[in-house]
Structure 1
Amino acid sequence: MPENMMTKDVRDWLSARALPLRRLDAGGPADDLRPLTEVLKNVRVVGLGEATHGTREFFLLKHRLIEFLVRDLGFRTLAMEAPAAAARSVDACVLHGRGDVRSAVAQLGFWTWKTEEVLALVEWMRRYNASVAEDRRVRFVGIDPQWPAAAVGRLDAFLRRTAPERAAALGNAFGFLATARPGSPPTPPGNSAGPYRN
């Protein structure tokens, strides 16, 4: 809100309660975040959003806040708006050091996660987990079903191993599902009217 639209009461309220951040980048002292300790006492889930997707500063601050939540407050799971099946590769990277972090992050589907800032966060999680006991390690999970390609690939691989005849019969359906995208489902083959019309 422009300053000329902000009443004196609002300015006074903000001035009395606002806590300045000393920096955005992660990896240093967290003294300026300590007041959050009391605010987050007994809290099990913390939501971190952003006013705009892709803004570097929001992701730098999220990284810093996640480090604080994990190291100082004992949080152990980072749940992101990403496909659950694709997130398993990232989880294997951070939890057990398996695989290439950059490749795993690239499979998350959304362009907002394919950034150097998110990559730096996931690499930090991997380093952190390598330095602590297993019960203090942080997990990476996906909670968004919009990009099913990774899940379809896992199901297809499972069926090819356990019931190859079923996998062959479902090939077209798997292809359709694997290419489905949020908000605009493709028209199934042979259905020129679209998937939602009779």
Structure 2
Amino acid sequence: MKTHYYRATFTLLIFLISFNVQAQKKSLMEEEKTYLKKFIYPLKSVEPGYPETSDLNVFDKLIGDSKIVALGEVSHGSSEIYKMKDRLVRYLVPNKNFSIFSLEASMPESYMMNEYTMSGKGDPKAFLDEMGFWTWQTEEMLSIINWIKKYNETSSHQVQFTGFDMLFTNGATEEIKKICTANNFSQNDAAQISEIFAQSNGKSKKTDITGSQKETLNTLLENLKVSSQKIKDEKERNWFLQNLRIIEQNIDKSAMKRDLYMAQNIEWIISQNPDFRMIISAHNGHINSYKGKMGEYLKRDLKNDYVTFGFAFYSGNYTAFDRKSKTTGPFPAQTAYEGTAEYLLNSLDIPIFILDLKSLKKENNEAARWITRDEIKFRRAGSTVVPEEFQKTNIAADFDYLIFIKESTHSRLLIK
């Protein structure tokens, strides 16, 4: 019995060691590089104003007739990633009839920006500030916004600027008050909601609602839902109810539920725009198909109408918040090292490219097992500085395509 036990244990140990070595692939052989390049589309530039767009024609094939293209980001603070998104917006809107740009930012505050992009009303920097998070208060985001505004000035094909997050409640309560006034409703319920959130630090992402306050809020929200029945304009009524829903989501939000609620908010935007084609801009960690993430819910409901492009870079720096120094600014990124996906992709010596993970996964060739089936270390940086940026990820399971950029520089914060 002991002999069988030791043999089984030894076999399992050898398997685990070989699996670990395989998962931590350190380099690509020439034949592996040759095979991988069959699924690569080089891109000429990340610059939004790059005069030639022939390299972007491949998006016609990759996207097809899909209704939503989700553009990720491995960091909220990479200038090159946002420039690439800007370049893609400028291509997809006029060439593929995309009509909505939707950002991982608070929903009501983002819709305020729509006033600027549609009619030129207001100050875009002020609207970005209202969104409450430094990640969007950058020159790169302002460039996307100003291009959409300029496009809307001369085109009959209008592009909406929207958002789908629920981290803040100020914008929602202000919209509710505004609609109450327009319809001669009492503002008492909305004012009480504002007061409760003000007491509970409602201006920050962290909202500490007591059980008693939650009961009061639910009562006030139900009162306002009853009042909504008197709003004659259907579009205004739907927007009123959606702002109530943003508050409900904020009260109930958590790390997992946030992704569910963002997916629900995107589906609300879709319900209001039946002839839509939408570009989503959010972190890789939200657009992906991992269980419980926003992308999983959208993929489940929209199937082939939802296409994802993850982003990666090899080295450089990015803008982030440092918890130790309590400052936001440029910080060096970890250069991708042996055993990371970015290290292997960089060895192809192509500075910017799209990797077709969908086709690669379909072929299921052993030469690409490290990215199609195995978990491999892949950069995950958000809005804050972290001690270790690389975590094991099944990249091909998460995204349809991956856009690789060799060098990242920090996004440029707008000066207030």
Shorter-chain TM range is: 0.7 to 0.9
SS in 2 for 1:46: strand
Structure-2 change in CA distance of 1:169 and 1:86 (3 Å): closer
Unaligned runs of 5+ in 2: 1-23, 214-250, 253-416
Counterpart of 2:173 in structure 1 is 152
For residues 79-158 of structure 1, the aligned pairs below 5 Å read 79-133=102-156, 136-158=157-179
Instruction: Give 1:138 deviation, angstroms.
Output: 0.7
Structure-2 change in CA distance of 1:36 and 1:66 (3 Å): same
Report the Cα distance in structure 2 between the residues aligned to 1:101 and 1:66, rounded to whole angstroms: 18
1:18 equivalent in alignment to 2:22: no
TM norm structure 2: 0.41
For residues 1-198 of structure 1, the aligned pairs below 5 Å read 5-27=27-49, 28-133=51-156, 136-159=157-180, 162-167=185-190, 169-176=192-199, 179-182=202-205, 184-186=206-208
* Structure 1 counterpart of 2:162, one-letter code: V
In angstroms, what is the RMSD of aligned CA positions?
2.9
Is the 8 Å Cα contact of residues 81 and 143 (structure 1) preserved in structure 2?
yes
Structure-2 change in CA distance of 1:180 and 1:98 (3 Å): closer
Relative to its length, the structure with more strand (as a share) is 2
Instruction: Give 1:100 deviation, angstroms.
Output: 1.4
Residues 36-95 of structure 1, C-alpha deviations (whole Å, 9 max, x = no match)? 111111111000011111111100000001111101111110111111110111111111
* Structure 2 counterpart of 1:186, one-letter code: D
Instruction: Give 1:175 deviation, angstroms.
Output: 2.0
Report the Cα distance in structure 2 between the residues aligned to 1:4 and 1:168, rounded to whole angstroms: 59
Counterpart of 2:310 in structure 1 is none
* Structure 2 counterpart of 1:149, one-letter code: N
Structure-2 change in CA distance of 1:126 and 1:177 (3 Å): farther
Report the Cα distance in structure 1 between the residues aligned to 2:201 and 2:177, rounded to whole angstroms: 10
Unaligned runs of 5+ in 1: none
Report the Cα distance in structure 2 between the residues aligned to 1:3 and 1:165, rounded to whole angstroms: 62
Structure-2 change in CA distance of 1:121 and 1:157 (3 Å): same
Instruction: Give 1:105 deviation, angstroms.
Output: 1.9
Instruction: Give 1:4 deviation, angstroms.
Output: 5.0
SS in 2 for 1:34: helix
Higher relative contact order (CA 8 A, sep 6+): 2
Report the Cα distance in structure 2 between the residues aligned to 1:15 and 1:168, rounded to whole angstroms: 59
Is the 8 Å Cα contact of residues 152 and 177 (structure 1) preserved in structure 2?
no
Structure-2 change in CA distance of 1:75 and 1:158 (3 Å): closer
TM norm structure 1: 0.83
- Report the structure number with the largest CA radius of gyration: 2
Q: Which moved further from structure 2: 99-108 or 61-70?
A: 99-108
Report the Cα distance in structure 1 between the residues aligned to 2:116 and 2:173, rounded to whole angstroms: 21
Report the Cα distance in structure 1 between the residues aligned to 2:197 and 2:179, rounded to whole angstroms: 13
Is the 8 Å Cα contact of residues 180 and 186 (structure 1) preserved in structure 2?
no
Is the 8 Å Cα contact of residues 56 and 117 (structure 1) preserved in structure 2?
yes
SS in 2 for 1:80: strand
Is the 8 Å Cα contact of residues 100 and 161 (structure 2) preserved in structure 1?
yes
Instruction: Give 1:167 deviation, angstroms.
Output: 4.8
Instruction: Give the 4+ runs in structure 1 shifted more than 3 A.
Output: 7-10, 156-161, 164-171
Aligned length, in residue pairs: 190
Report the Cα distance in structure 2 between the residues aligned to 1:147 and 1:120, rounded to whole angstroms: 24
Structure-2 change in CA distance of 1:155 and 1:175 (3 Å): farther
